[in-house]
Amino acid sequence: MHSCPTVKLPNHLNNETPITLRDSRKDKVVVVVGATGAGKSRLSIDLATRFNGEVINSDKIQVYKGLDVIANKVAADERRGVPHHLLGFVDPDDDFTADDFVRHASLAAASIASRGRLPIVAGGSLSFVKALALGRAGACEFHFLWVDVAMRVLRTVLSRRVDKMVELGLVEEARGFYAPGGDYGRGIRRAVGVPELDEFFRTEAEGVADDGSREELLAAAIDEIKANTHELAYRQVEKIMRLPEDLGVELLRLDATTVFEANNEDAAEEWKKVVLEPSTKALSRFL
């Protein structure tokens, strides 16, 4: 029998009064959703450090081994000691389905809860999230947090992120998964950032383009990656907005737009004010 963990909230949230979490915590799961690039991983780690939690990845590309840059996997040194589950454990060519996710995520959540810790599901694949919530209906109580960013701001954030990925080796990483006539409809090759480079790699392999043409093809591929990333974010938001109707749940929307509009010095404080504090208060009530 695990003792009930005690979580001490920041002074400005609870006047230094510790909150003792009930045993019923073992039946509760927190789900963090949001468009790609909105800050889901950041919030899940923040909450895990405050509520003795562990993170279960629900991104359908991040479950695969490889493509750490393209899939934007949270690096080990950025996890702040928080255990992460279902991250980079599936063979790249396997077809990991929603049913597979429900099975693995359920086992992970049960293991986390058995140790008196809080399961926090975080990722952008809403089909996985919906399957888990429907599959565990009646067995768990879910609390949904939505990290949202105005699309006019997020588009700029995502374009800059792609540029940063290119600097970090996106092209070389994708080259490792190029295969003439490869199937981009299954496994890790579905990831935005891989199919878009197919023509560039093909002409490179065939040696039919000069340096100037290759540069043009690469620039076009990067532009396509940005456009498809923007489109992915739009689709994710549309699916998130349907969750209340699809699952009969409430979403706590946390508007992080001002965080990305702030300068570097003010961004951390803005994150605390508009995202972390409201979510911490909500989870304290939930637990």
Domain enclosing residue 216, as ranges: 155-227
pLDDT number for residue 87: 96
Average pLDDT, the chain: 90
Q: Using one digit for the tens of pLDDT, what is the confidence trace for 163-172? A: 999 999 999 9
Based on the domain organization, do 272 and 256 belong to the same domain?
A: yes
In eight-state DSSP terms, residue 75 is P
pLDDT number for residue 7: 36
Nearest to 132 by CA among 285, 43, 30: 30
Based on the domain organization, do 246 and 211 belong to the same domain?
A: no
Residue 4 lies in a domain: no
End-to-end CA gap in the chain? 18
Whole-model pTM over 0.85: yes
Based on the domain organization, do 76 and 183 belong to the same domain?
A: no
pLDDT number for residue 24: 53
Q: Using one digit for the tens of pLDDT, what is the confidence trace for 170-186? A: 999 999 999 887 789 88
Based on the domain organization, do 128 and 88 belong to the same domain?
A: yes
Residue-by-residue DSSP string for 187-215: GGGGSTTSGGGHHHHHHHHHT-S-HHHHH
Instruction: Split the chain (287 residues) into runs of 10 and give each run's mean pLDDT.
Output: 36 37 72 97 97 97 96 93 97 95 96 96 95 91 97 98 97 92 88 95 78 89 98 97 96 97 94 98 95
CATH of the domain at 68: 3.40.50.300
For tokens 């990722």, the residue is 123
Counting the structural domains of the chain, the total is: 2
pLDDT number for residue 139: 85
Locate all alpha helices (DSSP H) within the chain, ordered by sequence. 11-14, 40-50, 98-114, 126-135, 151-167, 170-175, 198-206, 211-247, 257-261, 264-271, 277-286
Percent of the chain with pLDDT over 70: 90
pLDDT number for residue 180: 83
pLDDT number for residue 181: 78
pLDDT number for residue 199: 92
CB 270 within 8 A of CB 259: yes
pLDDT number for residue 15: 35
